[in-house]
Structure 1
Amino acid sequence: MKFSILIANYNNGKYFKDCYNSIISQNYDDWEAIIVDDNSTDDSVSVIKDLIKNDLRFSFFKMDQNKGCGAAKRKCAELATGEILAFLDPDDAITPDALQVTVDEYLKHKNIIATYSKIMFCDKDLHPKYSDEKIKQVYNYSKFFNCPIQINHFFSFKKEVYDKTEGINPKLSSAVDQDLYLKLLDHGNPKFIPTNLYLYRRHPSGISQDKSKNKSKDNFAKVILDTMKRRKISEINGKKIPDSFTDSKEIFSLLDYQNSIPYRIQKNLTLFIQQLFNL
């Protein structure tokens, strides 16, 4: 089962060596790494090319102009030839057993379309600090929007399922992963791996840690609205879905019911039954 590791890079040359070392240290051998550089302005291209030279498992592609995270990640997926795909940010790393553990889940559970694991948050030098214990197995149904976020890295998915979707939205500059997750979940269920497989580096220049929080919030809200429309949902809990996006608060307010105790009890009970009968 060939595994494609997808890396969309922009100005992360100084961090890439840790990412590279984590890939070549994998105890699973059938993999390729697709690297798409989004026309970086730092020394990324020279750093990456120097590290991967003469290793045919790595493929490198440079965008002719800076087009943003969505476009770069979409290009990664287009170039991938593996059966299983997973994104790895160039400033992060994966554990040596990440690919093997992930592949084992697909072999064990034939019907799943994706997997995701626990995540270890690290400092700027990639030293582990704490694990995100809030990530659990999700109850996937038509009104699941991963809000609050439960599905996270290390997220992998079947290429054959990705090809059934519209693909990654090239216009998005943030909430790209959330858009991908929800599109894939239209076609089946994911499997949670209760192990830390992903090392997430916290540093001031990280793409997901930038200062444009409002834009990121708006993009996530737009992704949720698009998902509602794609799934032909006209109302949620008695509230009508807006025809177009005007304000992120309007979208997120539609999901307030998820915080209620009755909803949580029903969700957990349904999830327990699903897991009990391996549905």
Structure 2
Amino acid sequence: MLFSVLIAHYNHFDYFIDCYNSLMQQTYTNFEVVILDDFSNDGSFEKVSEYVKNDSRFRIFRNEKNEGVGFTKGKLIELANGEICGFLDPDDVLTNDAIKISLENYSEKTVATYSQFWFCDQSLNIIRKFPDSYQIKNGDPLFLNIFFTVNHFFTFRKDIYLKTSRISSNYRIAEDQELYLKLYELGDFKFIKKPLLYYRLHDTGLSRDKNKTIQRYAAWNDVLKETLKRRNITKIYGKNITEVDNFATFIHQKQNTILKRIKRKFL
């Protein structure tokens, strides 16, 4: 089975070297790597192209202008040849068995897998394990990934993705959450209780960019609002959705009671 590693790249050549090395060490070797550069302006596209040119498993493309991550990730899936796809950020690193273990966890009903992962510093020294990873309940219309339980390393079946309304190209933030929630509606997610990815925290990473905090929350709120509409949910926790101003805050409060925190702790 061919696995497609999809990399949306922008100005991250220095970190990409570690990412590349982790792919070279995979125990499962029937994979391709599709890289789409979102019009890097620091010479990274040329450097990455040169770095991978001798490996036919790598295919690299470039947007004609900076389009944003929603457009770029959607295009990457279109370019993928594999039955199973997984996004990998160019500044992150996979464990050497990440692809192998992910594929082993697919069954007939499985449409996607996700795993535990490590938070790391800029030099990839482990800081801690992401605390909210566990097996979610499948088929729950009120599962909205409010605690980001579904996270890295996330893989999915391309044929199922093509049955969704696809990633919205206008998202520059929260596009991954939109993808997860759309796929969730079409089948089962399988949790892998093992860290398969090293998530690098650094000053140029999106999660550390304080200037984009407002945009992140706004995009996340839009994703939740559209998900509820798509699922034909008109009332949530006793309120009409038209009465909710901030879905992220409201749902988090309702799903983060003491009782529910205790239940999550023992999952």
The TM-score with structure 2 as length reference comes to: 0.94
Cα-to-partner distance string for 1:76-101 (whole Å, 9 max, x where unaligned): 11100101000000011101000001
From 97, 120, 123, give the equivalent of 1:122. 120
> For residues 17 and 250 of structure 1, do their structure 2 counterparts lie closer, same or farther at Cα, with a shift above 3 Å needed?
closer
> For residues 12 and 259 of structure 1, do their structure 2 counterparts lie closer, same or farther at Cα, with a shift above 3 Å needed?
same
> For residues 47 and 110 of structure 1, do their structure 2 counterparts lie closer, same or farther at Cα, with a shift above 3 Å needed?
same
The residue type equivalent to 1:89 in the other structure is D
Cα-to-partner distance string for 1:107-135 (whole Å, 9 max, x where unaligned): xx321110000011111111222211321
**Do the aligned partners of 2:132 and 2:148 also contact (CA within 8 Å) in 1?**
no
Deviation at residue 217 of structure 1 after TM alignment? 0.8
2:40 corresponds to 1:43: no
Secondary structure, counterpart of 1:113 in structure 2: strand
The residue type equivalent to 2:152 in the other structure is H
Q: Distance in 2 between matches of 1:132 and 1:114?
A: 19
2:92 corresponds to 1:95: no
The residue type equivalent to 1:100 in the other structure is K
**Do the aligned partners of 1:7 and 1:34 also contact (CA within 8 Å) in 2?**
yes
Structure 1 residue runs of 4+, over 3 Å off? Answer: 261-265
From 243, 254, 257, give the equivalent of 1:257. 254
Number of aligned positions between the proteins: 264
- The match for 2:24 is 24
2:133 corresponds to 1:135: yes
Cα-to-partner distance string for 1:232-274 (whole Å, 9 max, x where unaligned): 000012110128x9x4x35531453212355567x77xx98xx
Cα-to-partner distance string for 1:48-82 (whole Å, 9 max, x where unaligned): 11111121100001000001111111111110010
2:210 corresponds to 1:213: no
The residue type equivalent to 1:259 in the other structure is N
The residue type equivalent to 1:171 in the other structure is N
- The match for 1:110 is 108
| TM alignment of 1:181-260, pairs within 5 A | 181-211=180-210, 212-242=212-242, 247=245, 249-260=246-257
The TM-score with structure 1 as length reference comes to: 0.90
Q: Distance in 2 between matches of 1:264 and 1:131?
A: 18
> Structure 2 regions of 5+ residues with no counterpart?
none
**Do the aligned partners of 1:119 and 1:199 also contact (CA within 8 Å) in 2?**
yes
2:82 corresponds to 1:82: yes
Q: Distance in 2 between matches of 1:208 and 1:68?
A: 15
Q: Distance in 1 between matches of 2:5 and 2:181?
A: 20
Equivalent pairs: percent with the same residue?
A: 42
**Do the aligned partners of 1:112 and 1:190 also contact (CA within 8 Å) in 2?**
yes
> Structure 1 regions of 5+ residues with no counterpart?
273-279
Secondary structure, counterpart of 1:11 in structure 2: coil
**Do the aligned partners of 1:73 and 1:168 also contact (CA within 8 Å) in 2?**
yes
CA RMSD between the two structures: 1.8
